[in-house]
Structure 1
Amino acid sequence: MASSVAGNRSLLRRMNSLALLLELRRGPRTISHLTEATGLSRTTAEAVLGDLVQLGWAATAAPEERSGRPVMGRPAVSYRFAGEAGRLLSADIGAHHIHTVVADLQGTVLSSHTLAVSEQDPAADRLRSTRSAMTAALKEADTRAEDLWAVAIGSPGVITDGGVRHFGGEGMPGWIGLDLAAAFAEDFDCPVLVEGDCALGTVAEHRLGAARGARDVVYILCGNRTGAGIIANGDLYRGHRGGTGIIGELPQLRWRELELETYSGRPPATGRPTRHEMFTAARQGDAEALKAVSAFAEALSVGIAAMILAIDPELVVLGGGSSNSADLFVDLVRDNLHRLCPLMPAVAVSTLGGDAVALGGIQIAWSHVDAALARAVEQGLAFPPATPEFVRDRG
């Protein structure tokens, strides 16, 4: 009986620790704010905060961290989440680029590195390029691979169980069937998570960007290839095999046209301009380029309309590399969608642009850490210290 009571008290203490930690992740808090937010007594909150500070999860905050400006006099002591206790790594592996990001546990980006690669690079070369970009980002962030708590990998195609199940575009030889989780597991002691690039862009935009606060969202990743992701009732919807949003496989929806001659990221045999050249010329008022942008918007709108009619979202976000030039075509897309869709959602341009996939990787890496922490609270004997061991043991 005594051991049962002690166990319940231990679990309650761990749950209180987690409640305070979650509140600190929202920003620096004083004891008074914490007691009000959690319902804990001041004595309990002070004791739990002492534990969190000792374990490395929390630290005292400077007055300006709490208010955003210097504070005169003697302000109440506030505490903050010690995001610097750990590191997360994310890699966006594309057909034409590798983009890596290192962030702390708060999601603050500490470094990034981008490499240009060829669409025709074999898989082994693309993996080597990814490792080079990872090493460069880690070096810039003064972080060792063994210090990482989790690694996230974003890839084009349908991702199932850490591997590339399907890839609908041309190029990237040897990519289909590649087990990316296994390929990078030997490089890191921490969990390696793999997700589709559209899904990661969707997560980032929902948590950090233009879709914050929205419950039902369609995210369009429009770069050299075009795909989509879905937020349904506030959560990422992956589908049965992770294949949500690959509607470009249906030729009638015209997204494949966005990858062909007029809009491709490489000069076609016909000598037509690349998409970047098209946008640049349109911005300068070139009549032919403006016609091409109109045709681009029309083709893009057909697939978006199909997503709207199937999902009924409150918001569509135009993201990916092409979103940097969305001022040239977003109004055209809205006009087309008004014509095609009887129930019209809001249409917004991504605030994250080409960084969305890598930032989404940081988000799912932290979600993995968060889930491991929740399991440790439920199953462990004590609240874990702020070291990566509990993530590795339970990841």
Structure 2
Amino acid sequence: MKSDRPMGQEADAEKSRRQFLQTGALTATALFGTSIVAGCGGGGSGGSASGASFLPPATNPVAENSPALAPVSSPVPAPNPAAAPPEEASVPPLEKNPAIHSFSPTLAIRGNVIVITGAEFDWDASVSFGEVEATEFSVDSASQISATVPESAKTGEISVRTAAGTARSATQLVVSHAPRSAKGYKLAWHDEFEGKAVDTSKWSHGTATRDEAIQTVEAVTVENSVLKISTYTDPSTGKHHTGWLITSGRYELRFGYVEASVRFASRPGQWGAFWLMSQGNKSVDPPNPAAGVEVDIIEHRAVSKGNKDDVSNQFSSAVHWNGYKEGKTFSRGSNQQHLPEKQSFSSWHTVGVLWTPEGYEFYLDGAEKPYATIKEGVSLSPEYIKLTCEIKADDWAGRIPSSGYGRLGDSANATMEVDWVRVWQP
């Protein structure tokens, strides 16, 4: 049916319809970010879309005599070149692995505080000594931790663990065998024998003749961080030689825990000893042990008097005071002590004495309880350290071999070896 409206009115209506469709397409493009209507601008009322249309079908088509609609404004904001770019979400920096640079002291007993220096320590860090986790420590800063050596700690590396990883020390913390009653003592003096000769700033050599032995410098050597005192016989003279080391005039102590790591290859007629001595150990009346005593931390021999018994796996400790005049000396001892079954003094053993104003406690290999306690003859005076080997014919250590002890370096030598000596004090 043909419209009876004038041609001009039909043209205006068609123009209005096209404007509406174009405005809707622009709005959809702004909302969905792509061109939606492909055929809305073409031809007459019979134009078809060449692409899918997101415009819904008109349920109320525009009346042919409706006035033209104003174009819909696009919601897309106008570009603003001067505007700042949107802020990016802040990304936390990656955590770095912790590192241990050093620690001090490097020798300790349980209860000592170790200061660990390094980097990237955090407040949630944990500390371990070997396999034992520390329960007392503080993170002082990102580069320092102070930690107390636990009761059950042994010699080993220190580790610090954080959320980022675990750091381990390049060297081991050496944990001493001091008894529980010495907890918290600090290292006062030591010799690890790390050089190639005796450190004469710490020790002096004996040069006297005592009983059947001449004390010589040549009898004492240091090699591979071990001190060795050899007892030998000069084949040209038949004289026996051995060595003495003492700290008199260089170092003396008054109370503390004194220990050493030792091993022995003793021979009949000879013995080795680790002991303390005082210049004040003299015969007086009445006796005055407070002025100084002899403290034998360990004495070792191969056989008993007359070569009667093999005592090479035994040892003894004792205290002697009031000098050495016959009938004047007072002595208290531990009696003969035995190593545990299947152990021998060809292996290393740690021996020590805890000396306090109340007396002496003697320990072996880190045992919790002393094998001997002596509460008499307590010295209240400074004492110095001695490492010695001696020879005496037909005495408590048996008979001297008729062939002697071989030339220096021979397998027949009697030897006493010392890995280290340490003194701990409150």
TM-score normalised per structure 2: 0.24
The structure carrying a bigger helix percent of its residues is 1
Greater strand content: 2
TM normalised by structure 1 equals 0.25
Q: Which of 1 and 2 has greater Rg?
A: 2
